[in-house]
Chain A
Amino acid sequence: METILLINQLSKRYGRIQAVNQLSLEVAKGQVFGILGPNGSGKTTTLSMVLDLVRPDNGTFEWFEETPTKESRKRIGAVIETPNFFPYLSARKNLEIVAKVKGYDYNDIDHTLEVAGLFDRRHDKFKTYSFGMKQRLAIASALLNQPEVMILDEPTNGLDPQGIAQVRELILQVAKEGITIILASHLLDEVQKICDHVAVLNKGNCLFAGEVHEVLAISDCIELAAEDNQTLKEAIESHPGFKSLTETDGIIMAVFSDNIPPGKVNDYLQQKGITLTHLSERKRTLEQHFLELLKDNPS
């Protein structure tokens, strides 16, 4: 499979903050790749580095299996942070600048404005647009002339539910056309709904990377309850594979390493003389897994 983006040991420090720490990633052609992490986890810094906005302290990256140049950036459509346009120019003029920089003619501009639902307002100044329209124009500019890769940084941030739905619909449509997408987000359900691959970032470290459905299939969370939850908790904590537990409304949610099946746990507890009143296996959502990962790697 053709590699679109290869990041190797990329690091960036801002004063005392290690924004990105020896990050390595690989995005293959056709993937919808999510970069998931809380605010300040290094998502935007990483994207800024691979787009030549921020100079890395260490590490390298490759676009399209080549050393990156300005020419490789012309094959990428990207929006980093806020939509960046001249407020006093119309949408049309702003897109003309984008097209000119990328070396295209203006033939695709009207079509792109239609896709973004801005065709009727194309001659209005950018500053007269609502936030949702600005965000749509940004995505439209990234889509201009069918890039090979689209990079979106928090594309639904600050949008109303309708706007969020529109943008997600648009991204899925683009993905269907075979364009590789790299999406940074702090929203789990966004990554869950849109992406097929994900890398989880926290404080500049990559905690986890893999296919989204693999992450979702993880089932190492077990619900338990007994007459005496206190003894039960102590017993669970003494289990060699124990990782963490939480108690809500008399039900204990326990996480064990290596996907220990519930039956094995039950056997272990019976040896300790505990009879369970409740036992069930819960498929963890990405959210729980995410929080789990953050807890395990507090660095």
Chain B
Amino acid sequence: MKLITIELKKIQTYRTFWIIFGLYFGFLALGIIMAEFMVNAMVDDVNKRLPIPLPHAVLFNFPDIWQNLTFFASIRYVLIFPAIVIIILTTNEFSYKTVRQNVVNGMSRNEFIFAKLQIVLLLTLVITFILTLVMFILGLIHSDSQSLTMMFDKFRFVFGFFVQMLTFLCFAFFVGFIFRHTGLAIALFTLYVLIIEPVIYFVFRAPFMWENTIYTYLPVNSVVRVVEYPAIPALERLMDFQLQGEVTLLSCAIPILYSVVMIAIVYWSFNRKDL
């Protein structure tokens, strides 16, 4: 508890933190509001060329809402906001040299790492909780009365999202500790997430999108793939295959494995390097 109290003190009145965090939720809300509208605009467009029109997508009814909103909340453009928060909180310690002061004042290096991991976990829990609450309320508004089992049928996607957020923030934690400079770390992380991995996708893409390639196992894509598709029947009819019904343990295991390796590297290097 002591470590997390210290970490919370560091962000309590940190305006940059709250602005980015607010931006994230604003961006997320906008995405959620726009999602149904955009998907249906697409369906309308396709329907012009189809003899039997596809049904309109309904994103916010139980139990599909769990899958749909966790899908939209875990696309890489959205995930990157909380990741940048973690990078800033980590690299700040190096640019302000407060990591030195923490160690001088009697924090062990492992405690310092552990404190940052606690913030990663706390941020993940808060985001997952808020998103779950939003999904629950939206679901209630948009669904007819349903049995509880039916309502929470796809709740596994919330656990999937939790794994996605946790592992993605662990990547950010890793980048922050390794590069130490705020600007450099954010630039390299953004470059990798938004440009380098997508480029690798195009270079190695398979003839069918559901076939696995090297790209499938890259760190960021392994995170994104946990909740890979939304539950939109129109989309499935269009693609002609069952998109995704489950969050599989295997798909969660890959990003978790990456995170464990990254934390181990941080542990190893941070304990050896000078501060």
B51 adjacent to chain A (CB < 8 Å): no
Cα-based distance from A96 to B272 in the complex (angstroms): 29
The smallest beta-carbon distance between A82 and chain B, in angstroms, is 7
Q: Which residues of A have CB within 8 Å of B97? A: 81-82, 84
The smallest beta-carbon distance between B33 and chain A, in angstroms, is 33
Do B274 and A85 have beta carbons less than 8 Å apart?
Answer: no
Do A97 and B100 have beta carbons less than 8 Å apart?
Answer: no
Do A100 and B6 have beta carbons less than 8 Å apart?
Answer: yes
Cα-based distance from A103 to B2 in the complex (angstroms): 9
A55 adjacent to chain B (CB < 8 Å): yes
Do B105 and A74 have beta carbons less than 8 Å apart?
Answer: yes
A53 adjacent to chain B (CB < 8 Å): yes
Contact with B along A59-84 (1 / 0, CB 8 A): 00000000000110110101011101
Do B5 and A102 have beta carbons less than 8 Å apart?
Answer: no
Do B106 and A97 have beta carbons less than 8 Å apart?
Answer: no
A165 adjacent to chain B (CB < 8 Å): no
Cα-based distance from A53 to B272 in the complex (angstroms): 10
B interface, over-half SS? helix
Do B100 and A101 have beta carbons less than 8 Å apart?
Answer: no
Do A53 and B275 have beta carbons less than 8 Å apart?
Answer: yes
A51 adjacent to chain B (CB < 8 Å): yes
The smallest beta-carbon distance between B275 and chain A, in angstroms, is 5
Cα-based distance from A61 to B265 in the complex (angstroms): 28
Q: Which residues of B have CB within 8 Å of A97? A: 6, 9-10
A296 adjacent to chain B (CB < 8 Å): no
Q: Which residue in chain A gives the minimum CB-CB distance to B97? A: A84
Q: Which residues of B have CB within 8 Å of A73? A: 103-106
Chain A interface: which size bin?
Answer: 20 to 34
Q: Which residues of A have CB within 8 Å of B98? A: 84-86
Q: Which of A1-58 contact B (CB under 8 A)?
A: 48, 51-55
Do A55 and B274 have beta carbons less than 8 Å apart?
Answer: yes
Cα-based distance from A81 to B14 in the complex (angstroms): 25
Q: Which residues of A have CB within 8 Å of B9? A: 89, 93, 96-97, 100
Q: Which residues of A have CB within 8 Å of B274? A: 48, 53-55
Q: Which residues of A have CB within 8 Å of B102? A: 101
The smallest beta-carbon distance between B23 and chain A, in angstroms, is 18
Do A85 and B101 have beta carbons less than 8 Å apart?
Answer: yes
Q: Which residue in chain B gives the minimum CB-CB distance to A97? A: B9
Cα-based distance from A18 to B13 in the complex (angstroms): 43
Residues of A at the B interface (CB closer than 8 Å) are 48, 51-55, 70-71, 73-74, 76, 78, 80-82, 84-90, 93, 96-98, 100-103, 141
Residues of B at the A interface (CB closer than 8 Å) are 2, 5-6, 9-10, 12-16, 92, 96-98, 100-109, 111, 272-275
**What are 11 inter-chain pairs, A to B, with CB distance below 8 A?**
A53-B100, A53-B274, A70-B106, A70-B107, A71-B106, A73-B103, A81-B97, A84-B98, A84-B101, A86-B14, A101-B102
